[in-house]
């Protein structure tokens, strides 16, 4: 069966070792992690959201979800891939160097990136977008003096009010 790319989020208790449990589950059972993002959701409730982009055949994705739900500090697991009510975003910092960075700046402006820093011999662009668009942006910068990239990984959330 062909591999599919899925974005999963787990709402977890923000306690010691919870990230190690999630990551250990993936490495221990041989699942892929393409991107991983963690952040606190509610300090009062002590919850965090872990967003994982993973790939695998459908049966493996199903197992990943089931195995995540087994972890004691995990409250809920959501698979956003086929959900129409979810949105996902990623942020990237992209550095371009060279004497003339005019073309890079023009392309960046067209693709919705903004200049975060522009001193000396390098420009740092910031882009927040769907992960695929971040990839296209990086590819566009490659021939224009791309020298470094830092990506945050994906964050996902539902659109509905609940």
**Which residues lie near other proteins (CB under 8 A)?**
13, 16-17, 20-21, 24, 28, 59, 62-63, 66-67, 69-70, 72-75
Report how far Cα 67 is from the mean position of its chain's Cα atoms.
Answer: 21
Kindly tell me which of 62 and 148 has the beta carbon lying closer to other proteins: 62
Other C-beta atoms lying within 10 Å of the C-beta of residue 161 = 4
Is residue 12 within 8 A of residue 73, CB to CB? The reply is yes
Minimum distance, C-beta of residue 156 to other proteins, in the bound complex (Å): 20
What does the angle CA 27 – CA 75 – CA 18 come to, to the nearest 5 degrees? 40
Is residue 158 within 8 A of residue 78, CB to CB? The reply is yes
SS3 of residue 90 by DSSP? strand
Kindly tell me which of 74 and 127 has the beta carbon lying closer to other proteins: 74
Kindly tell me which of 46 and 114 has the beta carbon lying closer to other proteins: 46
Minimum distance, C-beta of residue 67 to other proteins, in the bound complex (Å): 5
Minimum distance, C-beta of residue 19 to other proteins, in the bound complex (Å): 11
Kindly tell me which of 26 and 34 has the beta carbon lying closer to other proteins: 26
């Amino acid at each position: 069966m062909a591999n599919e790319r899925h974005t999963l989020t787990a709402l977890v208790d923000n306690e010691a070792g919870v990230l190690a449990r999630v990551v250990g589950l993936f490495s221990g059972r041989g699942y892929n992690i393409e991107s991983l993002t963690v952040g606190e959701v509610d300090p009062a409730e002590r919850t965090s959201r872990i967003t994982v982009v993973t790939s695998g055949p459908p049966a493996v994705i199903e197992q990943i979800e089931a195995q995540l739900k087994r972890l004691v500090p995990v409250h809920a697991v959501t698979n956003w891939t086929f959900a129409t009510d979810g949105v996902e975003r990623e942020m990237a910092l992209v550095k371009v160097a060279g004497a003339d960075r005019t073309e890079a700046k023009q392309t960046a402006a067209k693709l919705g990136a903004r200049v975060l820093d522009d001193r000396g011999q390098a420009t740092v662009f910031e882009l927040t977008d769907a992960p695929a668009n971040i990839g296209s942006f990086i590819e566009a910068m490659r021939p224009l003096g791309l020298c470094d990239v830092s990506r945050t990984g994906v964050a996902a959330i539902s659109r509905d009010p609940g």
